[in-house]
A and B are shown apart, each in its own frame.
Chain A
Amino acid sequence: MSATNAVVIPSGPRAYGRRYWLFALPAALVVLLVILFPWIFTLFMSVHEWKVTGETPFVGLANYTKMLSDERFLGAVWRTLIFTVASVVAPLILGVWAAVCFSNTFKGRGLARTLFVLPMMATPVAISLVWTMMFHPQLGVLNYILTSVGLPPSTWVYDAATVIPTLVMVETWQWTPLVMLIVLGGIASLPTDPYEAAILDGANAWQMFRHITLPLVMPFVMVAAVIRIIDALKTFDTIYVITLGGPGSASETINILLYQTAFAYYDLGYGSAMVVVFFVLILLVSLLLLRTRQREDLR
């Protein structure tokens, strides 16, 4: 705001500051109903024993202490962490590689980029069904491809040892594009002078990537990493459709166990307590995201 403005209109935009809140009022009411109410009610339920029917006695922190000795829950936490780490690292590496490629101009770039983005836009349930068919141990096309290039067939999602890596592959296929887009946005905003200087100094493509591009886009890579961590922790559709946590409980993540507890066993109290713990875990990661974003704003 310029000083002259303030002189000409004493009630300049600054003074409207409070009135702009009216714009947000309807949305705030919606947020209150569909976001805030569920949070508070979940907290309330988590300290009660709550089945769909019957009494709902207050049990204090029993649901929470139960989690600490619940092998199934602890197993789910462990699997979620493994799945998340792998589903962050792989898309990050591939996504940065893709972003560097798509930052070049070449014939057919627009089409190639659109095709590359399709997996993240497609309906997750639909693609999960097709993956399931492709993983079929006897008739699946993936084992045909493996055997025709001389590799042994894989058990894919039908064996406890291979199910998590296979699901990570699906997750990577689906979400590498998001990393690519965020990093590509970063590369587009880079200055060109360092590159010109580097070319004069006779740097090759790898050196330029390693010493100029990568350090400069690192903040964007960090943003992509945090978004990816949050999304990987929350993964539901693909795991639910492809394995439903199986075989046995080999791919049962927190989110899947949460669903089963609440909507298959109707143990809503215990389910709510899990939601609270899960939410705190994700909130900690989001705070990290906010801090990275703020650093971004400062730049």
Chain B
Amino acid sequence: MKSGFLGRVGLYFSVVVLVSPAVLFFLWMISLSLKNELDNTAWPPVFIPNPPTLANFVDVFEKNDFLTYTINTIIVSFSATGLALLFGVPAAYGIAKAKATKAAALILIARVTPGLSYLIPLFLLFQWLGLIGTLTPLIVTHLVITVPIVVWVMIGFFEGLPGELEEAALVDGATIWQAFVYVAMPLARPGITVATILAFIFSWNNFIFGVVLAGRSTRTLPVAVYNVLTFEQISWGPLAAAALIVTAPVLLLTLLMQKEIVAGLTAGGVKGG
């Protein structure tokens, strides 16, 4: 579309207005995390840390067991994403090939159900199995988030693939399993990347399952950072530092893989929990 000088100015103005709430928010978050307590509670607020200090980050790791929580989060998100790929990719292939729209609808229902509605029965189940206080309940419940994301994104990708190559493989005597593993999977690799990133991010971010199912030593980072707010004396620097530690991996991943993420989100309107 062609537009005049005025249109250009209006466009840049609009973009600045739209993007600045996000940019300013994250800059302020970084600013809070790099200032000492005196500057953080100063009025008028100190905007640029001078001098910047990493004391808040040191404080977070010293006063809380953030290393354990980080490892917990990594174990839970990686397992939940890995298992979701293992179960979800073949399922999406089957659904796409069999054109099973009803099964696809079931996945959609899983996407729209509030996370809390799984929690009451699963909480009792895990209690009965004696698994509360281990990471297993977290990994299993995170499947509620990751499996629908993987299946939903992958159905779209498999439906978009031309079927001829697999048919050729079938004519040559391949089994459908071989056609899937050696023909369809390599073609769908971009889709698998998208599904992996999204499933990982929404599992990493999840709070609601952890807050109910995690014990003292099995907290994930979002739960841990919430506890910094509740149980510590409120000091803004460490709190902002903790928040930044939790969300930094996700933000970096988004910045690095923006193309894949945008493609996946546009396709599915995906969101976790």
B176 closest partner in A (C-beta)? A16
B contact face: mostly helix, strand, loop, or mixed: helix
**In contact, B120 and A262 (Cβ under 8 angstroms):** yes
Q: Output the least CB separation between B215 and chain A (Å).
A: 14
Q: Check A3 for interface membership: any CB of B closer than 8 A.
A: no
| Interface size of A in residues (CB-CB distance below 8 Å) | 100
A182→B254 CA distance, assembly (Å):
17
B91 closest partner in A (C-beta)? A27
A contact face: mostly helix, strand, loop, or mixed: helix
Query: What does the 1/0 interface line of B20-35 toward A look like (CB < 8 Å)?
Result: 0111011011001000
Q: A24-B91, A45-B120, A98-B18 are known contacts. Are A118 and B254 too (CB-CB below 8 A)? A: yes
| Interface size of B in residues (CB-CB distance below 8 Å) | 103
Q: Output the least CB separation between A220 and chain B (Å).
A: 10
Chain A residues with Cβ under 8 A from B57's Cβ? none
Q: Check A247 for interface membership: any CB of B closer than 8 A.
A: no
A179 closest partner in B (C-beta)? B269
**In contact, A133 and B32 (Cβ under 8 angstroms):** yes
Q: Output the least CB separation between B187 and chain A (Å).
A: 16
Chain B residues with Cβ under 8 A from A129's Cβ? 225-226, 229, 239-240, 242-243
A112→B11 CA distance, assembly (Å):
12
Q: A9-B171, A125-B225, A290-B105 are known contacts. Are A26 and B116 too (CB-CB below 8 A)? A: no
A233→B114 CA distance, assembly (Å):
9
**In contact, B108 and A259 (Cβ under 8 angstroms):** no
Of A16, A26, A195, A259, the residue contacting B91 (CB under 8 A) is A26
A263→B97 CA distance, assembly (Å):
42
Query: What does the 1/0 interface line of B87-124 toward A look like (CB < 8 Å)?
Result: 11011011101101001011011101111111111111
**In contact, A104 and B11 (Cβ under 8 angstroms):** yes
A285 closest partner in B (C-beta)? B112
Query: What does the 1/0 interface line of A119-131 toward B look like (CB < 8 Å)?
Result: 1111111110110
Chain B residues with Cβ under 8 A from A148's Cβ? 44
Q: Output the least CB separation between A10 and chain B (Å).
A: 12
Query: For B7, B141, B262, which residue has the most chain A Cβ atoms within 10 angstroms?
Result: B262
Q: Output the least CB separation between B146 and chain A (Å).
A: 10
Q: Check A19 for interface membership: any CB of B closer than 8 A.
A: yes
Beta-carbon contacts under 8 Å, B161-184 to A: 163, 166-167, 170-171, 176, 180
**In contact, B247 and A123 (Cβ under 8 angstroms):** yes
Q: Output the least CB separation between B15 and chain A (Å).
A: 5
Query: What does the 1/0 interface line of B122-166 toward A look like (CB < 8 Å)?
Result: 111100000000000000110110010001000000000001001
**In contact, B32 and A130 (Cβ under 8 angstroms):** yes
**In contact, A290 and B11 (Cβ under 8 angstroms):** no
**In contact, A116 and B113 (Cβ under 8 angstroms):** no
A123→B221 CA distance, assembly (Å):
10
Q: Check A255 for interface membership: any CB of B closer than 8 A.
A: yes
Of B2, B15, B229, the residue contacting A106 (CB under 8 A) is B15
A241 closest partner in B (C-beta)? B226
**In contact, A178 and B225 (Cβ under 8 angstroms):** no
A139→B35 CA distance, assembly (Å):
15
Chain A residues with Cβ under 8 A from B122's Cβ? 34, 38
A27→B233 CA distance, assembly (Å):
45
* 13 A–B pairs (Cβ distance < 8 Å), ordered by A: A26-B87, A34-B143, A42-B117, A97-B18, A113-B262, A114-B255, A118-B254, A138-B43, A139-B43, A141-B28, A234-B114, A236-B114, A236-B207
3 interchain residue pairs of minimum CB distance: A23-B94, A27-B91, A41-B121
